[in-house]
Structure 1
Amino acid sequence: MARRRTGTQTTLGNRVSLSGVGVHSGEQVSVTLHPAEADCGIYFNRTNLEDGRDREIPADFRYVNATDLCTSIGVSGASVATIEHLMATLRALDIDNCAIEVDGPEVPVMDGSAEAFVDAVDQAGVEHLSAPRRYIRIERPIRVEMGKSFAEFVPHDGQRIEVEIDFANHLVGRQAFGFDVCGKVFRDEVCRARTFGFYADVKNLWARGFALGASLENAVVIGEDRIMNPEGLRFTDEFVRHKALDAIGDLALAGAPILGCYRSYRGGHKLNHMALQALLADRDAWSIVELPARRETGHGELPAALAAAAFGPDVS
């Protein structure tokens, strides 16, 4: 298992494959995670396209093309959706370089959580590389607002996530969850939290041709007066824990670990993306550092290596 805030980059020790249903298409999708060289970052290799050509899609916030139902990235002629749970796993387990081969338009939803991706990384193992790891350090606060929702980055000595949700439905209500991001806490308290949605919304999405793969096997479904899953919840506050999981995955598109605290209130994929865009557009708000020496490499453009690096609106 990779240690937190080590001075060098990592990749996987071996390739590993897994498959499952796509939550939107309802079709089987296979994903293979490959080791990658230092400074390659994380990128998707989209295969099985109609024109027979594969497309490489960097896991980078500048390639985000949708945030309504999930987080999707794309280039001309290809896209990959529902990437947030896999990206959260790679970030939380300190995987810096990985080539992700996927033969469909979305990463499989598995059981609605990131647990299967954690198992895949454990199976592949972690290899430490000689190149230094670079971090994006928050130098001053950045905040974005969207209606009653807000998100902000503030300076913090470490990698911290603080998420609060507030739903009118009494089965969800107001919940808050915060933690310092590390592999152990992610494994024990975050990765098993599943995506969730309201049954009324799911029926509407089905009628529109979305969420065709959604079921009680891969999501927590909230009915009018009860949780519809026979096994109930995995955590009493599983809803906000899953929002924290999504936030880690969305912020992983920065291309490097973020040294700072990210807070959100009533957030989702769109707000996470807006906050990351606002942060990286302000060159005085962040700097690139290396640890443990913490040598600052200055402001300006993201290094080239960094640059390449649910099923209901805002409830995934």
Structure 2
Amino acid sequence: MRKQRTISEIVKVSGIGVHTGKKVDVVIEPAPENTGIVFHRTDKNVFIKANQVNVVDTTLSTTLGINGIYVKTVEHLLSSLYALNIDNCIIKIDNEEVPILDGSSASWVYLLKSASFVEQKHYKKVLIVTKPVKIKDSGKFVALLPCRKFKISYSISFDGTFINKQKYELEINEQSFIKEISKARTFCFLRDIEYMQQNNLALGGSLDNAVVVDDYGIANEDPLRYENEFVRHKILDAIGDLSILNYDIKTHYIAYKSGHNLNYRLVSSLLEDKKSYVIIGSPKQETQILENLGYLSPVVG
């Protein structure tokens, strides 16, 4: 187990929301231990904690909300915070959507690492998956399996397109996230942009913040950052969606053609089944629980 962390300096950034197209200013401030990740809509003076209860929409992104006040497209920032082991901070935001920046987590990682980190007194609690939780729906599949580590195996399939089939697997930690995942950008198909904009989505999207796929390849002048950038971005999104558990996670997450909605349903299914996981709050408790369960020997991974 590790101690909780916050940032040591304030982080400031401005940008536009990829779906709303609205300009937004963000200020990330340090917070005391056990605060968690809390969004403060400063224009409404409403605080919204990043947790499963406050997820109100999963259409093309993850939206948190309370009483009709929202913070949209939180997954890239939450993914970065989780991977960098930043557990406590207040995110002040003066509009309804987190800025998309370049469509990846790279800018968030740079800004947060530049602020540096402060180790706090209390331990970060760990959630260990102890039995499989699975969902199948319309040819899609997602699961959480017992594992000693946090590992992700992800497969996508866009037959007949430039993307085609891609898969990627890795253990998630700060170093692997920064090197292998953080620079992967969000993506969309050129044919879908008009439909999304007619439905008030992707109003702030551009070739500067997304990889746009057409019939021949990508419309962007800049090349792909990874050969399989598309599946790596899906992993980035999944980390953000799972991070709202607010624990360090020990599980093998497996997904085929998953997305924000299926991730939300998976986390909900996990939390509803109290026998599918254990929560560990201290190193002593960790040893006791693992010995009592006989957990380490049969675990996968």
- TM-score normalised according to structure 1 size: 0.89
Match of 1:201 among 182, 189, 192: 192
Q: Which residue of 2 aligns with 1:263?
A: 254
**SS of structure 1 residue aligned to 2:202:** coil
Q: How many angstroms apart in 2 are the aligned matches of 1:9 and 1:181?
A: 18
2:122 aligned residue: 131
Equivalent of residue 212 in structure 1, options 203, 214, 224: 203
Partner letter of residue 66 of structure 1?
D
Give 2:296's aligned residue: none
Structure 2 residue aligned with 1:16? 11
Counterpart Cα distance in 2 of 1:84 and 1:33? 15
Q: Distance in 1 between matches of 2:155 and 2:281?
A: 31
Deviation of the 1:160 alpha carbon: 1.1
Q: Give the equivalent residue in structure 2 for 1:304.
A: none
Match of 2:264 in 1: 273
Partner of 1:42: 37
Change in Cα spacing, 1:249 to 1:296, as seen in structure 2 (3 Å) is: farther
Given residue 211 of structure 1, which amino acid in structure 2 is its aligned partner?
Answer: A
Deviation, 1:203, is 1.4
Q: Is 2:55 the partner of 1:55?
A: no
Q: Which position in structure 1 is the counterpart of 2:141? A: 150
Question: Counterparts of 1:222 and 1:94 in 2: how far apart (Å)?
Answer: 33
1:288-310 deviation digits (Å, cap 9, x = unpaired): 01464425679xxxxxxxxxxxx
CA contact (8 A) 1:288 1:297 kept: no
Q: 1:98 to 1:88 in 2, by over 3 A?
A: same
The CA RMSD measured in Å over matched residues stands at 1.4
Q: Does 1:282 align with 2:277?
A: no
- Consecutive aligned runs of 4 or more in structure 1 exceeding 6 Å deviation: none
- Secondary structure at the aligned position of 2:238 is classed as helix
- 1:175 to 2:171 alignment: no
Structure 1, residues 96-128: CA drift from partner, whole Å, max 9, x if none? 111111111010000000011101111211100
Structure 2 counterpart SS, 1:150: strand
Aligned residues: 289
For normalisation by structure 2, the TM-score amounts to 0.93
Moved more, 123-132 or 202-211: 202-211
Alignment check: 8 A CA contact 2:40 2:48 kept: yes
Identity %: 35
Determine if the alignment matches structure 1 residue 94 to structure 2 residue 99.
no
Paired residue secondary structure (1:232): coil
2:108 is aligned with 1:117: yes
CA contact (8 A) 1:222 1:228 kept: yes
One-letter code of the match for 1:14?
E
Aligned to 1:186: 177
Equivalent position of 2:22 in the other structure: 27
Q: Distance in 2 between the 1:248 and 1:22 partners? A: 20
Letter in 2 for 1:7: R
User: What stretches of structure 2 of length at least 5 have no aligned partner?
Assistant: 291-301
List per-residue Cα deviations over 1:167-224 (Å, max 9, x = no partner): 1133111111111111111111100000000011111112233211000000000012
For structure 1, the 5+ residue unaligned runs are: 1-5, 299-316
Once residues 218 and 68 of structure 2 are traced to their aligned partners in structure 1, the CA distance between those partners, rounded to angstroms, is 39
Report which stretch shifted further, 110-119 or 20-29: 20-29
